[in-house]
Structure 1
């Protein structure tokens, strides 16, 4: 078993861990990620896009990196954006993808959830936008 730390890109919240066997596929990892975050991730697990959280020098992204800390509030820095190249092949085995072996205090997987498949905070923020728009329309018709 290997423990991987994941972060959902563009969604406020802390990184979370999932345990997978080295012989599992990346597709199995998607299923485990969705199962770990059912209130946050809606829709089918195979629609998730997974990216390695590796820096240009091949090292895993430290969990205390300022860009990772900013992700906790939903921010996506240019550094994180640049890591979203080359989606991990769902057919690959975990043992072949996660080299060097993941260590503590690192982020290993960046998760991108399809538009409309993010629950909780995203739904709340969309509802806030609708309420604001309705309020603005109401204010403009009163004038």
Structure 2
């Protein structure tokens, strides 16, 4: 009996398998998915799509055509012509052949669930009261969230998810393997000082001036130390789910008037860490969002998270709705 691996579009969760015979129909598959996931709506409200090019690797990351993606932020349109809706009365054997089913790590089916529909039928006064209370609480929660202000340094995966969802962004992750240039020494962090301590900042700014600015036209580009300017990236914008406050460490700008207009000609917003950890990526993505919103017209900045040694994490918009991360 064939085993199909399915994943729900735009939702958190792992792929799940469904055993179904070749002579059963897509409608039968819907019923089995409903039972597997314990959905509380009719099976015929599910929409199922065959998908090509989608797998999950050994690290449990979703990979589409060789590129790591974030399934929680993907829409159905993201898969373009690699998806095909499966009519309910078609046989499984018409949708998948033996080679499809026996391909390891392959995701076979995209599942689209309906928006939540309140259950029908009569309710007790107590049930109606609970529904009204929940609705009122949601209104107040939404209001409070709009008033909320979050710091870039406190950005976590949940806040990042809300930003990506509100802005309708899909994430693309590229891991690059480039030969290391040993002619440029790594930055020697002063262990006893934090990253934003004055002596530390003076030393890494000198390091960047020596090894970065010598490669650029100093009459055109500027490095700006913004670590102590705590409001540079403060952002209030209806495209965001909440207000954001904070800063980064350094700006690289294609401008010589950054002392008057810090964001003028912004190219890269840089966050420096002695040791780059996974949660720092959320901060870097938040910095990119704020920098992109605040940058003058014609500027398309990227963010850089680095320890100035072996870790270099770039973030930028490769398309209007695609956030690309490149990790060296």
User: Normalised by the size of structure 1, how large is the TM-score?
Assistant: 0.70
Residue of structure 1 equivalent to 2:100: 101
Residue of structure 2 equivalent to 1:47: 45
If each structure's helix is expressed as a fraction of its own residues, which one has the higher value? 1
Structure 1: which 4+ aligned runs deviate by more than 6 Å? none
Aligned length: 122
CA distance 1:19–1:131, change in 2 (3 Å): farther
Residue of structure 2 equivalent to 1:2: 2
Residue of structure 2 equivalent to 1:88: 86
Deviation at 1:136, TM superposition (A): 6.3
Of 95-104 and 2-11, more deviation after overlay is shown by 95-104
Residue of structure 1 equivalent to 2:56: 63
CA distance 1:23–1:16, change in 2 (3 Å): same
The C-alpha deviation readout for 1:99-132, integer Å capped at 9, x for no partner, is: 3431221000000001116xxxxxxxx9996452
Query: Structure 1 residue 115 and structure 2 residue 132: aligned?
Result: no
Deviation at 1:80, TM superposition (A): 3.8
CA distance 1:131–1:6, change in 2 (3 Å): farther
Query: Which entry has the higher C-alpha Rg, 1 or 2?
Result: 2
Q: What are structure 1's unaligned runs of at least 5 residues? A: 56-60, 118-125
Question: Whole-Å Cα distance in 2 between the matches of residues 94 and 37 of structure 1?
Answer: 20
Judge conservation of contact 1:54–1:83 (CA < 8 Å) in 2: no
Secondary structure of the residue aligned to 1:66 is: strand
Judge conservation of contact 1:52–1:110 (CA < 8 Å) in 2: yes
User: Normalised by the size of structure 2, how large is the TM-score?
Assistant: 0.33
RMSD: 3.2
Residue of structure 2 equivalent to 1:123: none
Judge conservation of contact 1:51–1:84 (CA < 8 Å) in 2: no
CA distance 1:28–1:35, change in 2 (3 Å): same
CA distance 1:48–1:132, change in 2 (3 Å): same
If each structure's strand is expressed as a fraction of its own residues, which one has the higher value? 2
